[in-house]
Amino acid sequence: MRIAFLTAPEGVEQIELTDPWQAARSAGHEPVLVSTEPGRIQAFEHLDKADTFPVDEVVGEASADSFGGLVLPGGVANPDVLRMDEKAVAFVQDFFERGLPVAAICHAPWTLIEADVVRGRVLTSWPSLRTDIRNAGGTWVDEQVKVCDHGNNKLVTSRKPDDLKAFCESYLDVFAEEAA
């Protein structure tokens, strides 16, 4: 299965990109880095620059129907930039409209809020997003991983890098289940 990993040109938390990416690859999936600009993205380790990664597809040219699921890595700046990009927001909305599974960790639910897809859903995130999620009509819980089956697709969310092992296991299980 092809899995889209959507990031801004800079600001993604490196481990929240690389751990789920490697988990997907190890499970036999094809991770695809989708960004708002071509070239390379700049990852961060908290506030410090880390590695760069090549962009595989540009969001304005990519379509959800060519993927089996979407992963939204966190980092504070990453979702803040994505939620201001109309094409990125439309890309996220398209996954929900098509009933494809989506996984988001840490601050990534900011992009989900902008896409107006959290209403009626139960999810978790970095704790500072709690009020934003509630204001957008979602229910926030403080859990390592939350799988929400609402509407025609499943949403997997997680709080922080310490939850990555559980996040990766859960999102891969959900994506495999949805593909079957």
Instruction: With CA atoms as reference, report the closest residue to 177 among 161, 146, 156, 157.
Output: 156
CATH number at residue 75: 3.40.50.880
pLDDT digits (tens, 9 = 90+) for 142-175: 999 999 998 788 999 999 999 999 999 999 999 9
Q: What is the pLDDT of residue 130?
A: 98
The sheet carrying 48-54 orders its strands as: 10-13, 40-45, 48-54
Q: Which residue range forms the structural domain that includes residue 93?
A: 2-179
Active site residue: 29, 46, 107, 150, which one? 107
- pLDDT band (50, 70, 90) for residue 101: very high
Q: Is 29 a catalytic residue?
A: no
Query: How many distinct structural domains can be found in the chain?
Result: 1
Query: Virtual CA dihedral for 96, 132, 149, 90, nearest 10 degrees?
Result: 0
